[in-house]
Structure 1
Amino acid sequence: MRQATPTEGSVRAMDGALGPIPAVCLHDHLDGALRPATIVALAQDVGHQLPTTDPVALGQWFVDNANSGSLERYLTTFAHTTGVTQTAAALERVAEEYVLDAAADRLLHTEVRWAPEQHVTRGLTLERAVDAVQKGLARGVAAVKASGGHISAVQILCAMRHLNNSREIAQLVLDRVRAAAGTTPLGAVVGEPEPGSVVAFDLAGPEKGFPVSDHREALDLLAQNLVPVTLHAGEADGPESIRDALVAGRALRIGHGVRLLENDPDATGALSRWVRDRRIALEVCPCSNLQTGAISHWGDSIKDHPITQLHRTGFTVTLSPDNRLMSATSVSHEMSLLISDAGWSNRELTDIQLNAARAAFVPRAYQEWLCERIEEACA
């Protein structure tokens, strides 16, 4: 596996060798995208003990500890990022910085996910936590636009698979989606979402042993009210987990999904056909998948990663970093690895950005606008 080197301050940004390929990011965790220097500053504010207070060394610590080959061990690194983001001010700061880093990564649109229930140990309510992230994302969007750029940023709220709060989080998502309906800002691109608004629900955390079907009440509520759902599946568990996400969860997108072909190498089985023919987007995160051992069935390099087979056999593949800090990565870095290590072309990279634009949880008019900007830049 190729090891990336984290940098002081911002997580890894543009590699600089791709040319003008703007991107749409569908799978990015807010608590996995903090700047190392910001973690140090926030830890000092609340007295949180870190492994080191040197930003460069801390960034490397996150990468080293995420390279475990296990999703469960990978997830332990989040104790520090969630530990320093238990106040409204901290959440606002990291959300704003997230947007600025995303803009530096040439993102036109990003859907950042996080679990509000993991940020209430110091007295925040779920509602105030979501308000804080919305405010930070909106500030970041405003700053990018004030400098002549464009980005849109929305929230996906996660419930944790191994906990029992999914019904409450689903209701929170439903309330926020209803509140955001019809609030497009004056002068915005047609269909552009309100900055920082909540658009969908996810289940995150340990996958194996914690099926989607355990959260049926929450998922029924969302389905009955036509609220979009994307679910982590096919990362730490196999194809049956993906089936569970589609059947019990009625997922419109699958977070990761890289183990879809584990028992179906020719992609001829019923589950594979359903995912491909229905154009269910797979939110693939190659560097993260290497770290957690999600693709050990195929190998341990970007060249071995099933993303290439999935894309070239007609699946709706999208590309995301998952956790920029833990993988010292970005969308552009993931693209550069596909070129250098897996033989992808710029046209293929453009095609998966178009996939992401069409799968985004935004109105169709804005999807089309994003596609037009991608095609124009890559013409």
Structure 2
Amino acid sequence: MQKIYFDNAATTPLDPNVIRAMAEHMTDNFGNPSSSHGFGRKAKAELETARKKIASYFNCSASEVVFTAGGSEADNMVLYNAVKELGVKRIISSPLEHHAVLHTIEALGKEFDIEIIYLSVNPQGEIDHGELENLLNSGDTKTLVSLMLVNNELGNILDASRVSEICKKTNTLFHSDTVQGIGHVPIDLKGIPIDFIAASAHKFHGPKGVGFAIINKEYKFEPMLHGGEQEMGLRAGTENTHSIVGLSKALSLALDHFEEDRLYISDLKQYFIEALRNNIPGIEFNGLSENPDRSAFHILNVRFPREIPMLLFNLDLKGIAASGGSACQSGSSKGSHVLGAILSEEDAKLTSVRFSFSKFNTRKEVDQVIEALVSLT
């Protein structure tokens, strides 16, 4: 049975070029980058080369790039330091954020008694910029705004330029979980100033268990992990160098071939949309995922015209991988908090599925998935 992987927003398969780069590093460059001998210096050089390359892609300083175990750690590092070290007393976010942000700010609210405000969202999953501006213009409470660049379930793209402008006018810190956006939305931190961002390599064909935070050098952070002076004193522990090499290679491939991949995957997504409309009457699309200008080109959130019990299970039996929400909640009986926040009670009862694509998918796979969906719906 042929396997079809349409769940790339959950994780992506490793690019073969990334595997080769990591294997070469593990074989030939296994030294500890904190060691002073030749083996260590060689590993350290490769580590810092990766850091500089990442910085060049985002138009920031290499000293602002801190390697982590992934996006969740990067988000936690930023949010905890904002409260503990930068004096933030209020966090403004949205109910559609990834749980790496939502659960963290909930914990911070309990531990430090800070104010948490969630912006209103409309049925398409858009925030109210006027509400944000009014909140930031009220009072002089030290505030951080945390809004994700690309929603991992809907694909909605944040108007980061507008949010950044509002934050700068009101001297407000701006953090964005860019985990789902990197490799799918251009990010220039000089063009659109964002104080703190988070990344995870496995979202752009790199290895799992490695990512980074970019932290504006104007702000002083303290480590959450203690025991060594690695990562400019911000994260103790021997760096995961072979994975960092894989991250750097994957990011280079994603951004160097960005336009080529964007056109290919966008065409695939549009082909899927048209096929769904032609074959399943009453199909709808959640959020802005159908809109090519306002959603990421790799995510499509589909709402079927009725409730279809065990649809994902039956797709899996046919060798097709997709998601009913965030894969980070797999095994949970809870429905999608994102869809719950934007859909009516009636629409929320209907079956919704997130399909997400990569450069390794094909139109033939789309045809096979459509055939399977028609047979199951």
What TM-score results when the alignment is normalised by the length of structure 1?
0.29
Structure with more helix by fraction = 1
Larger Rg: 2
What TM-score results when the alignment is normalised by the length of structure 2?
0.29
